[in-house]
Amino acid sequence: MNAELVHGLLYIVASVFFVLGLKMLSSPTTARRGNILSAIGMLIAVATTLAAMEQVRWVWLVAAVGVGASVGALAARLVKMTSMPQMVGLFNGFGGLASMLVGWAQYHGAWAAEADIHGFIRVAIFLTILIGGVTFSGSLVAYGKLSGTIPGRPVLYKGQNFVNAIILTAAVAVGILFSMQEAGRPSAIGPTGAYLLLIGIVVLAFVLGVLSTIPIGGADMPVVICLLNSYSGLAACAAGFVIGNNVLIVSGSLVGASGIILTRIMCKAMNRSLANVLFSGFGSTVATKAAGYKGEAKPIGPEDAYLIVEAASNVVFAPGYGMAAAQAQHAVRELAEMIEDNGAEVRYCIHPVAGRMPGHMNVLLAEANVPYEQLVEPQDVNPNMEMVDVAIVIGANDVVNPAAREDENSPLWGMPIIDVDRARTCIVLKRSLNPGFAGVDNPLFFKENTRMLFGDAKATITALVAEFKG
């Protein structure tokens, strides 16, 4: 069989592995196997690409793999679970940069050899550099905002969208001009002029990435990271066209499509449009307590909380970012087991945007070996919330904020929430009455049926467990 055909077939096998792997990632029971399957697909793709190459510079290759693997291994050890969102953001950025460099290197090679490049490939190089560059610089800003290296609030100024539109138009105009130049052939602006156009696209892409991300507030950064993830896939897809690699085109398209689907799911979970996330400067104005959430919060200690939970026959946990910050997931599982031993039904209600990244709570609870069948979504619990004896909120705030349902002036108005305030009793575990990530005050704390169990979530849950043991 001819070698080209074998390579093509192996690329199809790798692509099938990617698609099946992605499908399996949609359920916690198959996610681990899905991950392994996708990794095998990637191994097949890389090995096939190396086998198909006429000449491989092994020294460079081994050095690059060595550096990349060492950074990855170090990151896996050093980066805490709570820092994962910004880490994912950084990875997207490097994906975009890698694609951009592939496009650039391909052009540079042709330019140095004074060789011609097909018009279609020049367009693909332009798109790789534009999308890859925007992804890189935008991801660096997202990383900075999430890690607190730069302020998370939106940076807004008059005519911002107009300025961004001008830069995008300029980038496209330069891109069209660039695509019309032939690398080695003499033209009105010459090969050096064409190269300068390419540098111009790089600069405009970097500037556009920064300027289009700074107006977005820190609270919306996880959505932006999903969008940038989608961009990094599109950049990889364009790079696949540049170097004529089918498996890169397929995998880039898969990342591009899944990133945009995830972005849509998250926007829907916040009841906001993507345009609202990107252009509204959400988080620049903050609702204050003077907005009218009055009343007295009712603090309780672990002893009283125990008496309430012990008497319940139906308990729902609503975890949020505070559970991740406190690393309370193992203590939560232990408490849940004790409540079950006491004869009560336990469910964990996971809001799609709880925490700081998609699936944040699912990952933590899976790590603590919480049974998958106990994980439910807000729409499974909300219709019968009045029948729930106790809702225990563990470091969640925005995703349980009833202002989203009750206060038309709240920035969270319309966001689907977990209706813990409609449970018979709601116990909120957090350290203070401070607002959550969106900076919006929460009337839940002052409701008649709410009790505040103040303190670090791990410490208070451990105290509750001790009460049960006692």
| DSSP-assigned states of every residue in 120-184 | HHHHHHHHHHHHHHHHHHHHHHHHHHHHTSS--S----TTHHHHHHHHHHHHHHHHHHHHHS-SS
Does residue 397 interact with ligand NAP by CB under 6 A? Answer: yes
Element (H, E) at 427: strand 425-430
> According to CB under 6 A, which one of 396, 426, 427, 453 is a site residue for ligand NAP?
396
Does residue 403 interact with ligand NAP by CB under 6 A? Answer: no
Tell me the two tokens of residue 38: 């996708």
Residue 138 neighbours by CB under 8 Å, 6+ apart: 93, 209, 210, 212, 213, 224, 228, 231
Q: Smallest gap, in angstroms, from Cβ of residue 438 to ligand NAP? A: 4
Q: Which of 398, 407, 419, 441 does the annotation list as catalytic?
A: 398
List, in sequence order, the alpha helices (H) in 301-444.
302-310, 321-326, 329-341, 360-367, 378-381, 403-406
> According to CB under 6 A, which one of 436, 441, 453, 464 is a site residue for ligand NAP?
436
Nearer to ligand NAP, 11 or 437 (CB): 437
What's CA 381's distance to the chain center, in Å?
25
Surface-to-core class of residue 120, CB atoms within 10 Å of its CB (0-12 exposed, 13-18 middle, 19+ buried): exposed
Site for ligand NAP in 168-187 (CB under 6 A): none
Alpha-carbon distance values, 15 to 19, 91, 193, 296 (Å)? 6, 22, 39, 58
Does residue 398 interact with ligand NAP by CB under 6 A? Answer: yes
Rounded CA-CA distance 128/97 in Å is 9
Site string for ligand NAP, 202-231 (x = CB under 6 A): -----------------xx-xx--------
Does residue 322 interact with ligand NAP by CB under 6 A? Answer: yes
Where does this chain touch ligand NAP (CB under 6 A) — which range of 180-188, 254-262, 305-313, 392-400? 392-400
Does residue 444 interact with ligand NAP by CB under 6 A? Answer: no
Site string for ligand NAP, 152-171 (x = CB under 6 A): --------------------
Alpha-carbon distance values, 250 to 20, 100, 319 (Å)? 13, 17, 37
380 is catalytic: no
Nearer to ligand NAP, 152 or 395 (CB): 395
Q: Site for ligand NAP (CB under 6 A): how many residues?
A: 33
Site for ligand NAP in 251-290 (CB under 6 A): 266, 270
C-alpha angle 115/120/121, rounded to 5°? 50
> According to CB under 6 A, which one of 145, 272, 430, 451 is a site residue for ligand NAP?
430
Nearer to ligand NAP, 8 or 28 (CB): 28
Asked whether 129 and 239 are in contact (CB, 8 A), the reply is no
Nearer to ligand NAP, 171 or 461 (CB): 461
Does residue 457 interact with ligand NAP by CB under 6 A? Answer: yes
Rounded CA-CA distance 160/199 in Å is 24
Number of residue whose CB is nearest ligand NAP: 436
* Cα pseudo-dihedral 191, 196, 200, 206, rounded to 10: 100
Q: Smallest gap, in angstroms, from Cβ of residue 57 to ligand NAP? A: 40
SS3 335: helix
Does residue 392 interact with ligand NAP by CB under 6 A? Answer: no
Q: Smallest gap, in angstroms, from Cβ of residue 397 to ligand NAP? A: 3
Site for ligand NAP in 335-374 (CB under 6 A): 353-358, 360
| DSSP-assigned states of every residue in 403-423 | HHHH-TTSTTTT-----GGGS
> According to CB under 6 A, which one of 321, 425, 445, 453 is a site residue for ligand NAP?
321
Binding stretches for ligand NAP (CB under 6 A): 219-220, 222-223, 266, 270, 320-322, 325-326, 353-358, 360, 395-399, 429-432, 434, 436-438, 456-457
